[in-house]
């Protein structure tokens, strides 16, 4: 449908100017099939080429285009303008992260945390790699939900605990740790649980649950963290009662 | 290197949506449960101190302002309990079949048990309803 306008109120930050982030309004035409990312692209292409934001796949896979839309962390490629606007669509950079420029935030801290839980299959011995490692469907099902994480960071933007304690390892890194702990091919559970079983690890989580609400892939990181608390406690008790026994 | 703008959380962040508000009230309920504990400990202390101290404390607890405060504290405590029961099925899924029990079922069973145990306690204290 032609002839309809919407106002995009976008948070701008220009590091070179030295000022504080401030909103800038753009009135643009929109159709019912346009998502928020389409609106940002329209502004970039037709109104203001200096607007800076991340995006790539436009289909909810790459996890690049996350932003706070009307105060809620969302993938802008999966959020229809018609569903969120009441005359105005407010777009802020993801909360809880330092801003680099406009809607682009600094993820370095997350990447360090992610690396700390070894988000890949760890084998204690190399073994015979020419042999196929059989995994049954129910074994795949055990970690399938967590494996859907696309590292979009919406869960970190929604987590008030991470907002208050930036040292908290956070939802996505925890969910991905569980993904590999549950993988029958993996043998790195012990080192991951050692990292997670700390004050800045899973025990910082107070189960607000907002991470699972905003997750676009239904990974349910809140439940993953509670499962990790159980696994970490069992590991601790095993080490206490049966020193020297294998931790898994 | 580009100059980053550090994140600053707004003071009223927990009013941003009703789930944050529900969480904050749940946490406040945790503080309230500690206050209740202190009240009961003080009750035991006055009981040990003698009849006059105990009566004075009970009379003070029966005054309207304290009753109103208790009403608010009780509401927060109930909210704390109910919201934790809602989380049990999510934090430790119970699995008898291929799929875990839905959290609502776990919540319902816990609430029924809670009501049952509370009823038994009331019966023991007052000797009937």
Q: What is the pTM of this model?
A: 0.90
* Residue A210 CB contacts under 8 Å (≥ 6 apart), including other chains: A158, A159, A160, B19, B20, B23
- Rounded to the nearest angstrom, the minimum Cα separation between B39 and chain A is 26
Whether A248 has a pLDDT exceeding 60, the answer reads no
Strands A72-75 and A22-29: unpaired
In this complex, the residue of B4, B16, B87 whose CB is nearest that of residue A207 is B87
Arch. (CATH architecture) of B14-126? Up-down Bundle (1.20)
Residue B73 backbone phi and psi in degrees, to 5: -60, -40
Cβ neighbours around A203 below 10 Å, total: 16
Angle between helices A171-181 and A189-196 (to 10 degrees): 150
For A106-163, the pLDDT digits (tens) are 999 999 999 999 999 998 776 677 778 889 999 999 999 999 999 999 999 999 999 9
Contacts of A13 in chain B (CB under 8 A): 5
The residues, ordered by sequence, that sit 6+ positions from B12 with a Cβ below 8 Å of its Cβ are none
Residues 6+ apart with CB under 8 A from B6: A98
CB B2 within 8 A of CB B56: no
Domain ranges of chain A: 5-105, 108-241
Decide: helix, strand or coil at residue A248.
Answer: coil
Question: What pLDDT does A243 receive?
Answer: 81
| Residue at token pair 């959020």 | A79
For A244, the token pair is 């020297």
Angstroms from A207 CA to nearest CA on chain B? 8
Which residue of A20, A160, A232 to mutate against B (max B Cβ within 10 Å)? A160
Q: Which fold has domain A5-105?
A: Ubiquitin-like (UB roll) (3.10.20)
Question: Cβ of B2 and A15 within 8 Å?
Answer: yes
Q: What does the domain layout of chain B look like in residue ranges? A: 14-126
What is the pLDDT confidence band of residue A47, given thresholds at 50, 70 and 90?
very high
Shortest CA distance from A18: residue in chain B: B3
Give, in words, the CATH class of A108-241. mainly alpha
Instruction: Kindly report the backbone phi and psi dihedral angles of residue A74, in degrees, each rounded to the nearest multiple of 5, phi listed first.
Output: -145, 160
Token pair for A219: 């990974």
Q: Give B57 to chain A, closest Cα distance, Å.
A: 36
């Amino acid at each position: 449908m032609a002839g309809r306008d919407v106002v995009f109120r976008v948070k701008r930050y220009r590091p070179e100017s030295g000022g504080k982030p401030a909103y800038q309004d753009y009135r643009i035409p929109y159709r019912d099939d346009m998502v928020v990312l389409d609106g940002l692209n329209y502004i970039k292409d037709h109104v203001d080429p200096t607007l800076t934001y991340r995006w790539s796949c436009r289909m909810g896979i790459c996890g690049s285009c996350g932003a706070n839309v009307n105060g809620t962390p969302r993938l802008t490629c999966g959020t229809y303008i018609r569903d969120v606007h009441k005359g105005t669509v407010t777009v802020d950079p993801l909360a809880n992260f330092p801003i680099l420029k406009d809607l682009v935030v600094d993820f370095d801290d997350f990447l360090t945390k992610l690396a700390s839980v070894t988000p890949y299959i760890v084998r204690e011995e190399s073994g015979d790699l020419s042999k196929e490692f059989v995994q049954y469907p129910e074994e795949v099902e055990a970690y399938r939900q967590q494996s859907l994480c696309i590292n979009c960071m919406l869960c970190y933007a929604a987590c008030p605990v991470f907002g208050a304690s930036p040292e908290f390892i956070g939802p996505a890194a925890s969910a991905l740790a569980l993904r590999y702990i549950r993988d029958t091919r993996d043998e790195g559970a012990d080192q991951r649980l050692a990292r997670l079983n700390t004050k800045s690890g899973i025990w910082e989580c107070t189960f607000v649950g907002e991470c699972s609400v905003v997750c676009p892939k239904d990974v349910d990181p809140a439940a993953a963290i509670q499962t990790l608390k159980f696994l970490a406690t069992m590991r601790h008790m095993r080490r206490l009662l049966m020193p020297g026994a294998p931790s898994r | 290197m580009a100059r980053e703008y550090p994140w600053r959380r707004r003071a009223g962040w927990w009013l941003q949506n009703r789930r944050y508000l529900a969480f904050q009230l749940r946490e406040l309920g945790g503080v309230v449960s500690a206050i209740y504990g202190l009240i009961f400990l003080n009750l035991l202390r006055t009981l040990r101190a003698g009849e006059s101290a105990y009566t004075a404390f009970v009379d003070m607890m029966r005054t309207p302002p304290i009753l109103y405060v208790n009403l608010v504290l009780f509401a927060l405590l109930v909210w704390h309990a109910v919201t934790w029961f809602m989380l049990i099925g999510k934090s430790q899924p119970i699995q008898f079949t291929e799929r875990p029990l839905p959290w609502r079922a776990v919540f319902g069973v816990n609430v029924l048990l809670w009501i049952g145990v509370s009823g038994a306690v009331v019966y023991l204290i007052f000797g009937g309803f």
